[in-house]
Amino acid sequence: MQDTPPITLKAPAKLNLHLGVGDVRADGYHEVTTVLQALELADEVELAPAAGLSLRCEPDLGLAAERNLAHRAAVALAGALGRSADVTISLRKSVPAGAGLGGGSSDAAAVLRGLARLWGLPPSAPELLEVARSLGADVPFFLYRNAALMTGRGDELVRELDAPVIHMVLVWPRQPVPTAEAYAAFDSARPPPAPGPERLVEALEAGEYRKVATRLHNDMTAASSALVPAITDALALLAGADGVLGSEMCGSGSAVFGVCETGSAAQEAAGAARDRGWWAAATRTTGGARTVGAAAHDDSARDAPGRG
């Protein structure tokens, strides 16, 4: 145990480029169709072999370790494998909690991936996906690469997507959305069916980031904005920002994002949001070799993703 060095993994934030919400399922969740995209903004997760299980989180979220999704991931995977969860987990948080950016789910997936390495489990081991799905709807996505079309509760992979690198700005008004109330409001309003994600996926895989910006969609935006009006204010700020080509809400909120022409535009929009007292960050999507638009020559946002 002492001869095994710790391993460090990135736990990226995510955003929903598309979120279509359907009827309530028999298990109480809503049927969804979503296009999820990982970001360079990320938590850092370190795993070190130990005599037992412990978790440290910086900054302290005021949450008992046993309730932290990363801790629960270690317990669940150890149980599935019939072994002890003998690891120390250290989280260094950059993704704000309760913003709809998937930080806790990503931490949990990073723990699963890291423990698979420490415990000699192949990345394709079915236990990883089974445990991920038991922990929450967003956790399975973070076992994949960069972008994916998901369905079911949001936990069933349709296919991974070949997404380019695109500059993004994130804005969080620092007000959480009560998720159960948001979905109840959505059910009461019964909005018309969402457009499908096909045209968005087509633009994403073609690297046409301007078209991506015009094809964003989130069924939950109206319901969540009614509960937290600051979401509308944040979207309005991005709509009026130079170089922001399109914007939408992340998950069920309350963070919002904007597709940006350049890293400088993302930084300027983030600065304007911070002037309002909101958390904000300039970041980029994770992707393959392709970097599109001005992002191909603009490195100005690379040192900014973790700033809030």
For residue 209, which amino acid is it?
Y
Shortest CA distance to 115 belongs to which of 25, 6, 200? 6
74 φ, ψ (degrees, to nearest 5): -65, -45
Active-site amino acid positions: 14, 138
Rounded CA separation 258/280 (Å): 11
Shortest CA distance to 247 belongs to which of 168, 180, 174, 192? 168
